[in-house]
Amino acid sequence: MQNRMMITGAGSGLGREIALRWAREGWHLALSDVSEPGLQETLKMVREAGGDGFIQRCDVRDYSQLTAFAQACEEKLGGIDVIVNNAGVASGGFFSELSLEDWDWQIAINLMGVVKGCKAFLPLLEQSKGKIINIASMAALMQGPAMSNYNVAKAGVVALSESLLIELAQQEVAVHVVCPSFFQTNLLDSFRGPTPAMKAQVGKLLESSPISAADIADYIYQQVAAGEFMILPHEQGRMAWAIKQKNPQLLYNEMTTMADKMRAKAKQNNA
C-alpha cells in the first residue's frame, strides 16, 4: 500500500502541515495529539486536501496510549508505512533557573515521547519496510544558550535516530531526522520557562522567521523522497552546521556572546 502515515502532535503547527502535505498526495493519515479540537480541525483540512484518515487522542508520555494507537492503525489502515514523531514542547531558561521538574517534563515529552513512538510502531514498520521521521531541532546541533533541557532532549532525538539508522538498515526500515530552526509555529502555547522575558525573546525569534511550517513540511517531503537522513530545512541552519563541523570553537564563542547579551537584557528588564 505504502500510503499510510502516523503523526503525533498533528493538532497544529508542523504536525498539521506534514499531514496536509502528504494528504495532497492522497495518503491515509492516523493523526494524534493531546488536543481533540485541533485534531478535528486537522482531519477536516486533510479531507479537503485530498487525503483521509482517523484521529485518536494520545499523550506521548504514556506508552500504553501509543501502543493502542498502533493497534488502531493496524485495525483501521491494515498497518503503517511512515511514522512521524513530531509531538513536542518548548522551554527555556538558564541552567541555574531550570528546576528538575522542568527537565523531567522536557525529557518525558521531547525525547522519551519519540523513543516510545518508535518502540510502539516498530513491529508495523518492520512488516511494511517503512520509514521513521523524527522531528528534532537545530537546538540538537547548535546548543543555544538558556535552553539546556530542550537542547539535551533534541540532541537525544538525533542520537536515537542515528542509532536506529544503523540498527534498522537490515530490516529495511528507513530513518530520517529533521532539525528545523525557529519557524512560525504555535510552539509557545506549551512554553515553560522561569521568566516571561525568555518567552518573549523566543516569541520574537519565531515571528521573525522567513519560513513557515508549510515550507518545512514541503522540504521534508522532498528530502525524504530523496533518501536524505539529516534534514535541515533552514539555509542558515545548514550554514551554521557546516561552520560547527569545521570550527566548533567559533560557534561556542558566538553562543557565549549571545548568552552574555541575554543576561544583560534580563538585568535591564528586571531593573
* Residues labelled as active-site residues: 150
By DSSP bridging, strand 28-33 and strand 174-178 are unpaired
Helical pair 112-128 and 148-167, crossing angle rounded to 10 deg:
20
How far is Cα 260 from Cα 257, in angstroms, rounded to an integer?
5
How far apart are the C-alpha atoms of 46 and 30, rounded to whole Å? 11
The stretches of the chain forming alpha helices (DSSP H) are 13-23, 36-49, 63-77, 100-106, 112-128, 139-142, 148-167, 196-207, 213-225, 235-246, 248-270
Helix (DSSP H) and strand (DSSP E) numbers for the chain: 11, 7
The count of C-alpha atoms lying within 13 angstroms of the C-alpha of 99, restricted to the half-sphere facing its C-beta, is 7
Nearest to 171 by CA among 115, 118, 223, 220: 118
